[in-house]
Structure 1
Amino acid sequence: MFLDETAAGQWVSSAELFRADLAEQLRTGSVQELDDLEVGVALTELLQSEFLLYGTSGGERLADQQARLAVRGLRATLARLGLSINLPWTDFTSFRSYWLAHGGHGSWAARREMVGEVFDPILARLYARQDDPRTGHIATPALSALPDPAAIHDHLRRLTTSVDTDPRLAVSVAKDLVESTSKLVLRERGVAYSNSDQMPQLVARAQESLGLQAGGVSGDSDEARALKTLLGSLARLMLGLAELRNQIGVGHGRESVPTWVRPRHGRLAAGAATTWCNVMLETLGDPDAPWRSPRSGA
């Protein structure tokens, strides 16, 4: 979050010049080349450290206005991850007012506890996300291919929050994510589609528009055959997702509920969907992708 960078990345450094421009960008969307999860961890660690310093020994690097910008950026980043933070203050001045009203006067220990109560739970959830398989994750460079990725962010948020609590819903959301991605790719490529088009047709047309269909790979080398196999498997994976959604997803006015569905099934659907979407969107945004000047496909 400071101008000069260290191994901790663009968001945390020993330098003293705060990057207000990056904090402002976070309020409106992801920052290109930066992963929201990594940004969320770095911002949370930064703010926790700053408020701890202010409440105890001093030496904080941010000013009030900068702290407010960082808090707003953190809230927006967490929202894109389907998370939130219960932070009862927004800067150092309001933190001081908070601790004076809640028994923190003259007690560094009390202030440490206040900061820990706010930041420790969200850090634990963020660290767990880093350690676990990336359910509902699309890389920031892939999202940067779209002028407005709001629909994708919405699906990802619902995927993240439903996999463990409602895996059948997660399967349905995974299919919706693929359909939205297909339509966005087709729109960017200027290819017509209808709202009545089904997911398999949308997937096939979107892959073809980017030269990612198996038949779009020319040549008979070992590399070409392997690529054809992968691209064909990618399309079949999406067909399987559509069929799974039809069998266990929410909707369709079912007469019975499939009780065997577990979070692992929701995670399987989410992983399949995000794998496909990452490939599609990264190819869409790649300035050297063959669809821009067709050669051998993919």
Structure 2
Amino acid sequence: MEADYEDDGWSEEERPALNSPEEAKGLVEEVTAILVAGANRSMAGPPPDRADYRNKRKALAHVLTQFGIRNPFPWRTLDIAVEAAKNAHSGTGSHALRRRYFQEYAAKAIGPLELRIADRDSGDISAAIEGLRSAVEATVLDASSLRLELRRIEAALPGDPGAAISRAKNLIEAVAKRVIIDSGGTVNTDRAISALTTQATEVLGIDRKSAAGYHKDFAILMEKLHGCVIAIGDIRNAVGDGHGAAELPEDLAPSHGRLAARGAIAWCGFMLDTLHARQQRS
């Protein structure tokens, strides 16, 4: 039977107030349990509540939308879901197979929700990206390229660490170029990331040599931060998605993508803050 992905909308009064990914994950598990019970129920026991499935599925569709996740359960009614599972699996061992059948659908939402939880527990990178977006809008003369890079880095996180590392490197380069241009300089498009970021810090007077004249410890910090962005460029060459790879890196995890993104945001945010302060003084 064809799956139906359309959802009935909630009225404003009916909208469920679930705000955390843990609550959303719990609701996914509740709907899964109803589906499994419906497909595997004993004739001696009471059937699952069809209205309960319908209402919880509708609530789930609304809640997942807040996290940019699609409702994984395509069946508008419990009867349609049960029929689909029984058509897919019957005979010996069918109960376990039907349970797995519904769990595989649930995993389409649980996986992204668990990544959201891990992301939040390791620091809210979405908030950091939003803060940088605000700095971009308040500072640069032409924000179009930076808006694009920020959208790309959001799309890559948290599921594709190789792409996230590449987008982090691209964001660094884009910010460096805007800083140079908006400071009245000229960008040499052939420059490597190390030369490009060095030029950007020099035009703002925050490279190590310039900073050492007024604060030695800050100069050391700037050198370390500059080393971070160079390392991101080097890692991108090794594991990023900008080059065809014979095989995927085995040890590359979402946390590596988040680390690269946070390093890029730290450098880019400070560069934009410094440029903005200069603009305010002139």
Distance 1:160 1:178 in 2: 15
Distance 2:186 2:151 in 1: 28
Cα distance, 1:217–1:238 mapped onto 2, change above 3 Å: same
- Displacement of 1:193 in angstroms is 1.4
The aligned amino acid for 1:176 is: N
- Report matched runs for 1:132-151 at 5 Å: 133-135=123-125, 137-139=129-131, 140-143=133-136, 144-151=138-145
What does residue 251 of structure 1 align with? Answer: 242
What does residue 284 of structure 1 align with? Answer: 275
Q: Which has the higher helix share?
A: 2
Distance 1:205 1:171 in 2: 22
Distance 1:285 1:141 in 2: 12
What does residue 121 of structure 1 align with? Answer: 64
* Alignment pair present for 1:207 and 2:174: no
Which deviates more from structure 2 when the two are superposed, residues 234-243 or residues 280-289?
A: 280-289
Corresponding residue SS for 1:120:
helix
Instruction: Please list every run of 5 or more consecutive structure 2 residues that lacks an aligned counterpart in the other structure.
Output: 1-8, 16-51, 69-112
- Report matched runs for 1:63-82 at 5 Å: none
The aligned amino acid for 2:225 is: L
Identity of aligned residues (%): 26
- TM-score between both structures, scaled by the size of structure 1: 0.54
What does residue 12 of structure 2 align with? Answer: 52
The root-mean-square deviation of aligned C-alpha atoms, in Å, is 3.3
Deviation track 1:64-103 (CA, whole Å, cap 9, x = no partner) reads xxxxxxxxxxxxxxxxxxxxxxxxxxxxxxxxxxxxxxxx
Q: Which has the larger radius of gyration?
A: 2
- TM-score between both structures, scaled by the size of structure 2: 0.56
The aligned amino acid for 2:123 is: P
Corresponding residue SS for 2:125:
coil
Cα distance, 1:153–1:119 mapped onto 2, change above 3 Å: farther
Cα distance, 1:165–1:176 mapped onto 2, change above 3 Å: same
- Displacement of 1:130 in angstroms is 6.4
Conservation of the 8 A alpha-carbon contact between 2:141 and 2:182:
no
Which deviates more from structure 2 when the two are superposed, residues 112-121 or residues 184-193?
A: 112-121
